[in-house]
Amino acid sequence: MTRRDVGDVLLEVQDLSVDYLTLNGAVSAVSHASFTLRRGEILGLAGESGSGKSTLTTALLRLQRSPAVTVGGKVLYHGDDGTVTDLVPRTDKELLHLRWNKLAIVMQSAMDALNPVKRLGAQFVDVLRQHDPRMSEKAALERAGDLLALSGIPRDRVDSFPHEMSGGMRQRSLISLALACDPDLVVMDEPTTAVDVVMQRTIMSQVLRLQRELGFAIVFVTHDLSLLLELSDRLAIMYAGKVVEIGPSTELYHHPKHPYTKALRDSFPPLYAPLVEMRGIPGTAPDLMNLPDGCAFAPRCARAMDLCLTKRPELVQVSEKVDAACHLNDPQKEPVGAGPSDARSENGHAA
């Protein structure tokens, strides 16, 4: 597989925490997330439903809406002119310039992002003319056709309403729209969950082609780990609002350093490899309002030790390129990949 050349640091996320302020108190949906993203890099973000993936990505771009609040940490954006800006304290007005021009997003649901009663072309024209008020309507419409062409959609589709297009086409047109201003970063939150595998392949091959030509970085969110392994340079695994492991995709796949990463990997039946009896991950994700004292994964972890029940593991560097948050990586502990116990073959169903 051809890996991309990655460049300088683009985004440095430090200790980012996001809460939802609810009537029953604050829900800590993302806590102390830290990672670095380089120019042209594809970072995959995986984890169960509710683990905080969408919350983290919207907070990255400062797009979160009430009741979500960034309660701590920094998101340092390194511009191509060498300036470094912390996005967290910026006002919406100050962020305007960065959005679309530098940082774009493709949302989880294409249907939500498009106006159902407006022709596609008109929606593109709105965006383009807000970006550049001096552009004539005619020129903007022309440009809309060009942008659709970027993802292989016939230009006469500018006259279509969203419901007249297949889900795949809608998603492809949104990707085109996200690229309209040549951004440095495109965040994609489950862009292919609603389409089938053949369309997914069409879309992703186009995204990767554009990425090679234009060099933007991608944060790609999905729960489909097999997809991420095909796609990303590095992977971040989230569990209960925390990044529990991050590192090169191949490393995480072959040598997971966190039992949850391993269990998630082993949740996908193979397409070609010999079939073996598999198990999912026993139990259910924890209630974020009521996290256990120690490791949040402990109630479901086949390798939990006494220490895990009392002390919360921190995300620390555990090998040259991998960070993980699990006590098994403490000095003198058996590594995750080794040992007789294995999250997939042991442990009853705690359900």
Partner 1 sequence: MTTTSTRTEQPRQDAEREVVLEARDVTKHFTVRGKKGSAVVRAVEGIDLELHRGEIVAMVGESGSGKTTVARLLSLYYPTTGGEILLEGKPVSHVTGRKALTYYGQVQLLFQDPFASLNALKPIRHILGRALKIHGKARGAKQVEQRIHELLTRVNLTPPEQYIDKYPHELSGGQRQRIVIARALAVEPRVMLGDEPISMLDVSIRLDVLNLLKKLRDEEGLALLYITHDIASARYIADRINVMYAGQMVEGGSSEEVIHDPQHPYTRLLLDSSPDPGRGLEGDQQSLFDEVGDLGEPPSLITPPKGCRFNPRCPFAMDICNEKEPEKVEVSPGHWAKCWLHQEGRADLLKQRNIQFGVPIETAAAEAGIDTVNAEDILDRTVALEGETTADLGPFQP
Interface residue list for ligand SF4 (CB under 6 A)? 258-259, 295, 297-298, 301, 303-305, 308, 313, 326-328
Exactly one of 89, 280, 337, 339 binds partner 1 (CB under 8 A); which one?
280
Interface region with partner 1, contact rule CB under 8 A, candidates 11-19, 69-77, 145-153, 316-324? 145-153
Please tell me the distance from the alpha carbon of residue 276 to that of residue 269, in angstroms, as a whole number.
Answer: 9
Choose from ligand ATP, ligand SF4, Mg ion, none: what does 301 bind? Cβ within 5-8 Å by kind: ligand SF4
**Closest CB to Mg ion among residues 54, 70:** 54
Position 50 contacts ligand ATP (CB under 6 A): yes
Choose from ligand ATP, partner 1, Mg ion, none: what does 188 bind? Cβ within 5-8 Å by kind: none
Instruction: Report 54-93 residues binding ligand ATP (CB under 6 A).
Output: 54-55, 67
**Helices (runs of H) and strands (runs of E) counted in the chain:** 11, 12
Position 54 contacts partner 1 (CB under 8 A): yes
Interface region with partner 1, contact rule CB under 8 A, candidates 26-34, 73-81, 123-131, 318-326? 123-131
Please tell me the distance from the alpha carbon of residue 61 to that of residue 31, in angstroms, as a whole number.
Answer: 16
**Residues 32-71 as x/- pattern, contact with Mg ion by CB under 5 A:** ----------------------x-----------------
Exactly one of 99, 119, 155, 223 binds ligand ATP (CB under 6 A); which one?
223
Position 284 contacts ligand ATP (CB under 6 A): no
Instruction: Report 286-345 residues binding partner 1 (CB under 8 A).
Output: none
CB of 267 to ligand SF4, least distance (A): 16
Exactly one of 127, 291, 305, 307 binds partner 1 (CB under 8 A); which one?
127
CB of 310 to partner 1, least distance (A): 25
What residues make contact with ligand ATP under the rule CB under 6 A? 20, 22, 27, 29, 47, 49-55, 67, 223, 288
